[in-house]
Structure 1
């Protein structure tokens, strides 16, 4: 059977479209490729963005900002040593972009100028660390992307 150029063109287009549809269906149904939205309440969060900018500016005005480092026990956040740690209040939020179920938030309860996030809570991969804290009526914000 002889195939003319028109039939060959149609067969080629059908095969190409089938190839693309296979990958679209595979990615949309496979749980391995499941990614959550960045945030559920995007527009609500956008309204308070100016406060976030101000809080980051306050953090940048500090002589020493929060630092984070990986230790054997977990992720260690170190607050500025020149501040009285007992007056620091706020929350620590760890956000996992690839899996919403792993996100967690803890209130700041400092017994020194250091806060340890235990190794058991952190699965290997990328995390966004967000520390919203207040000291003597002034709000601060620390954001850092870490790969644990």
Structure 2
């Protein structure tokens, strides 16, 4: 069999079609979780989040996630230490929406809180913290990678 330019073009087209078929197959196997099921409603109130982030930037410190051997802690800025505050936290796992969970604290003066993980799954976690301290709303989104 002689290999000429027509055979080369045909072989190239067949290989291209097979590659495209494989890529479509792999793309269909991906699991795409939305950040939020109510993304449109969340977008409408996003200006509130921007205002809360601006308030948080006025503080000296930032909220952090700190990991010890057996526990993960949410540490709030030192400016808020000793003040009465309440907050809600959404722990968001980027790779797996089934791992997301929420917790909240009402009327506390503490500045460090243990996060109630039932299981630690690897990946990037973002703590979306909405905090109210003495009538001022703040928003923090510290990250940690396991």
> What TM-score, normalized by structure 2, do the two folds share?
0.84
Query: 2:85, 2:133 within 8 Å by CA — same for their partners in 1?
Result: yes
- SS of corresponding position for 2:48: helix
Q: For residue 16 of structure 1, what is the aligned residue in structure 2?
A: 16
Q: Which runs of 5+ in 1 are unaligned?
A: none
Contact 2:81 2:110 in 1 (8 A): no
| Runs of at least 5 residues in structure 2 that lack an aligned partner in the other structure | none
Q: 2:143 aligns with which of 137, 145, 148?
A: 145
Choose the corresponding residue for 2:101, options 104, 107, 111.
104
> What RMSD, in angstroms, separates the aligned Cα atoms of the two structures?
2.2
After TM superposition, the structure 1 = structure 2 runs for residues 69-148 of structure 1, keeping only pairs within 5 Å, are 69-83=66-80, 87-109=84-106, 110=108, 112-118=110-116, 120-148=118-146
What CA distance in whole angstroms lies between the structure 1 residues aligned with 2:82 and 2:39?
A: 33
Q: Which has the higher helix share?
A: 1
Q: Name the TM-score, length of structure 1 as normaliser.
A: 0.83
Structure-2 separation of matches of 1:145 and 1:114: 16
Partner in structure 1 of residue 38 of structure 2: 41
